[in-house]
Amino acid sequence: MMPVGHNGIAGFLKARLFYEQWILAVARHDSKTDFFPAPEDVKIIEPPSGYSWADPFLVNEKGRKYIFFEEYNFLNPKGAIRVAELSDSSTLVNSPTTVLDEPFHVSYPCIFKWNDRYYMIPETMARHQIRLYRADLFPHKWTLEKILVEDIFAADPSVLNFGGLWWLFASIRKNSAQINNETVDLFYSETPLGPWKIHAKSPIKKDIFSSRPAGRPFEREGAWYRPAQDCSRRYGFAISINRIDIVNPKEYKETLISRIYPNWKKGLLATHTLNQNGNLSVFDGLRRSFKYPIRHIRNFPASAKGMERKIAFYAIGSNITPSTRFRVLPYVTFLKNKGWRVDAYLLPNLIDTKILGFLKLFWIAIVRYFQLLKANQYDVVVVQKGLTPWRSKWILNNFFAKKLHYIYDFDDAIYHEPPIVLPRAFDKLQELQAPDLLMKNASCVIAGNEYLVQYAQKINNRCRILPTPIDTSEYFPFHCHENDRLIIGWTGTAGTNCYVNRILPIIDELSMKHKLCFLLMSEDLRDVYVPKRRHFEFQFVKWDPETSVSNLQQVSIGIMPLPDDEWGKGKCSFKAIQFMALGTPVVVTPIGMNRELVRHGENGFWAETDKDWLDTLEILIGNEPLRKKMGTAARQTILDKYSVHQCGPIFEAFCMDRC
């Protein structure tokens, strides 16, 4: 057995015991020359465990000071805008309240006043728009006033009213997959309502040290200053202060005069937003926070009183594990909004850690043992796929037995050996999940398709089918592909990358007649054999929860090839569901649930043989009206049966039966 080096253990412990968390800070300073207060004058505003607070903006209204900021929930990775009042001593007067929570990620609440009314332009890059919101009842009620710019990927939009015009700074990307911290673009308009025109010299700056906006421009001693991010070492490492020298529709010039480093509090990794109002400054900082004993992230509905219904989810992975992300987290949010007290117990993500397999399993087991100590306090417990890799039977006997109501949920044929090669530690994890025992003792078994239910019914006759749901407000049609090429796409985990190898030669043959690009979105390129001599463009995009939807929206045709075996029959078609929710036609192997989801010739095509794949892709590539027609039908299929809106009430009914 090879020993584990010191650096390997240290890195492993750092990654598993800590997570990066943004915090807020407030400081009062009277200096007219310094742009940042002394560290001893800084007061920290702590977010709760499992959340980040960042992008603070300060508003002084009728003698009361309000701090608006982004709250990021690590359980449901999406930002929302919250507000709290600041006291004269720079502490929070009240608990923060949510003022803007869209189905998509929002952040960076740039707030300004115009015609005696407050407006907000937050970052809404996830929706591919720049949006303007109006305060109907400041500071708590905001309404969408207007979509200022469509089909744009704009980061950190920042507004300035100067010289009789309104100016908007933002870092623009070609698409959400691109990371642009090096340039800043400029727009101008006569009013905040637009129309907004692009500056003649935009992008007005290209410099990774001082381009991307880091707060609203502010005035001091008759001069205007623009905060910008220094991303030279990492995203949002420091803040650069630029003095605006010239700004008009034809010219722009600024001078870097100061830089603020993340040294105002010990242990900070970055600081990337600064806003000032008078002699008060608000800013943020990135630190490492201790994960455990944070065993879960808890959601208490504000309206819950008395004996609320209590449910716990024991997920098989972290918040980026696909089955957890799509079969657990949507129901956490749905049930919370229905008045349930919801606790989600997740496991640490150990896939990419360079540590021995048995240590990974040991760490997972320890975390799960402590999580299970509170299992008996819930009305309903949902177990997803498995509990822990070690001694599953012992855990079942001690914590569950038959005295505890629990629902067992699974969406893969985990009782079969997968036809793909997994790391040895995860082979063992799969082996010891004890699915049969979990099914036997469950008060209800929920399976993702008919094939899985047929197996479960041999063990437990209380079985239900519930497909993997998708949030159709997040997955919506927005095809931003280029006109001179057509993109065929696939998405999945590294363990299923090998499924595309059969299709790549077919795409190569088609690309002799058509200009094609193949987009593969996964964790890495493991087991993918891309022809060295090929006629098509191959584009690999690393999966990221923040950009995955935008990347898939570029695809014109989605594919889902599967092996014709027991494992393939147990798949729940979620790759196809994602594409179809985006209004994208699909070509799939017609086995298992794929035959039910895809109606051949209506919302997609079936393809069994290589000739089938060649013919059906050829038809879709050469017929854009057919692609649009099938895409519309595909989207409607998802809305009718596979959306969170449709599946959520069914899942809640299953839970109510167990209470």
Rounded CA-CA distance 531/508 in Å is 8
| Cα four-point dihedral sign 648, 652, 653, 658 | positive
- Residue 564's pLDDT band (boundaries 50, 70, 90)? confident
Whether the predicted pLDDT of 110 surpasses 80: yes
pLDDT of 577? 96
pTM: 0.67
pLDDT (average), residues 334-347: 88
CB 463 within 8 A of CB 455: no
* pLDDT tens readout for residues 82-102: 999 998 888 888 888 999 999
Look at residue 318 in the predicted model and tell me its pLDDT.
Answer: 82
The total of other beta-carbon atoms located within 10 Å of residue 49's CB is 16
At residue 418 the predicted structure's pLDDT band, cuts being 50, 70 and 90, is low
Distance in angstroms (rounded) separating the CA atoms of residues 332 and 310: 11
Q: What local confidence, expressed as pLDDT, does residue 35 receive?
A: 76
Parallel, antiparallel, or unpaired for β 141-150 and 117-124? unpaired
Read off the pLDDT of residues 225-237 as tens digits, 9 standing for 90 and up.
999 999 999 999 9
- pLDDT at position 390: 54
C-alpha–C-alpha distance, residues 230 and 270, integer Å: 10
Asked if the model's pLDDT at residue 251 lies above 60, the reply is yes
Range from 2-6, 66-70, 272-276, 344-348 carrying the lowest mean pLDDT: 2-6
Half-sphere exposure of 36 (CA within 13 A, CB side): 23
Residue 468 near residue 411 (C-beta atoms within 8 A) = yes
Q: Work out the mean pLDDT of the chain and round it to a whole number.
A: 85
pLDDT, average across residues 437-454 = 89
Write down the domain spans for the chain. Answer: 17-290, 297-469, 486-642
**Beta bridge pairs of residue 274:** 283
* Topology of the domain comprising 297-469: Rossmann fold (3.40.50)
- Residue-level pLDDT at 478: 79
When pLDDT is cut at 50, 70 and 90, the band that residue 304 belongs to is very low
| Partners of 185 in the β-ladder | 170
Residue-level pLDDT at 103:
85
Most confident of 76-85, 128-137, 298-307, 396-405: 128-137
Of 253-267, 277-291, 348-362, the poorest mean pLDDT is in: 348-362
Per the structure block, which two tokens stand in for 35? 């742009």
Confidence category of residue 441, pLDDT binned at 50, 70, 90: confident
State pLDDT tens for residues 471-517: 998 898 876 555 578 999 999 988 888 999 999 999 999 999 999 99
Q: What are the structure tokens assigned to 412, written together? A: 């893969």
Residue whose entry in the numeric block shows the structure tokens 């239900």: 464
Q: What pLDDT does 434 receive?
A: 62
> Which residues are CB-contacts of 141 (< 8 A; sequence separation ≥ 6)?
99, 135
DSSP-H helix ranges across 322-387:
322-327, 329-337, 357-372
How many whole angstroms from its chain centre is CA 341? 23
Question: pLDDT digit string (tens) for 570-624?
Answer: 899 999 999 999 999 999 999 999 999 999 999 999 999 999 999 999 999 999 9
Helix (H, G, I), strand (E, B) or coil at 314: strand
Is residue 297's pLDDT more than 50? no
One-letter amino acid for residue 416 of the chain: H
CA atoms of 517 and 520, how far apart (whole Å) = 10
Please report how many Cα atoms fall inside a 13 Å half-sphere around the Cα of residue 67, on the Cβ side.
34
Instruction: Give the Cα separation of 339 and 629 in Å (integer).
Output: 40
Strands (E), 403-458: 406-410, 444-447
Q: Answer yes or no: is pLDDT of 351 > 60.
A: no
Question: What is the band of 323 on the pLDDT scale with cuts at 50, 70, 90?
Answer: confident
Share of the chain above pLDDT 90, in %: 56
Contact call for residues 561 and 497 (beta carbons, < 8 A): no
Question: Which CA distances in Å does 522 have to 51, 450, 494?
Answer: 26, 27, 6
Residue 349 has pLDDT above 50, yes or no: yes
Average pLDDT over residues 186-209: 95
Q: Is the pLDDT of residue 54 over 90?
A: yes
Average pLDDT over every residue of 259-277 = 93
What the block records as the tokens of 383 is 């177990």
Q: Does the pLDDT value for residue 175 go beyond 80?
A: no
What is the average pLDDT across 60-66? Answer: 91
Report residue 218's pLDDT band, with 50, 70 and 90 as the boundaries: very high
Beta strands in 546-619 (DSSP E): 557-560, 586-588, 604-606
Mean pLDDT of 627-636: 95
pLDDT grade for 137, boundaries at 50, 70 and 90: very high
Tokens of 437: 């025992």
Beta strands in 30-128 (DSSP E): 42-45, 51-61, 64-73, 79-86, 97-100, 107-114, 117-124
Q: What is the mean pLDDT of residues 411-423?
A: 65
Q: Which two tokens stand for residue 137?
A: 């009842």
- Given a contact cutoff of 8 angstroms between Cβ atoms, the answer to whether 480 and 506 are in contact is no
What percent of the chain shows pLDDT beyond 70? Answer: 85
d(CA 269, CA 19): 12
The residue-averaged pLDDT of 106-120 equals 96
**Is residue 634 scored above 60 in pLDDT?**
yes
Domains 297-469 and 486-642 share a fold: yes
CATH match of 17-290 with 3.30.470.10: no
Taking the C-alpha atoms of residue 467 and residue 643, their distance in angstroms, rounded to an integer, is 9
CATH class of residue range 486-642:
alpha beta
Q: Is residue 221 predicted with pLDDT exceeding 90?
A: no
Longest dimension (CA), the chain: 79
Q: pLDDT-based confidence at 657, cuts 50/70/90?
A: confident
What are the angstrom distances between the C-alpha of 109 and each of 23, 103, 355, 496, 512?
Answer: 16, 16, 41, 40, 49
pLDDT of res. 14:
62
N-terminal to C-terminal alpha carbon distance within the chain:
49
pLDDT at 353: 52
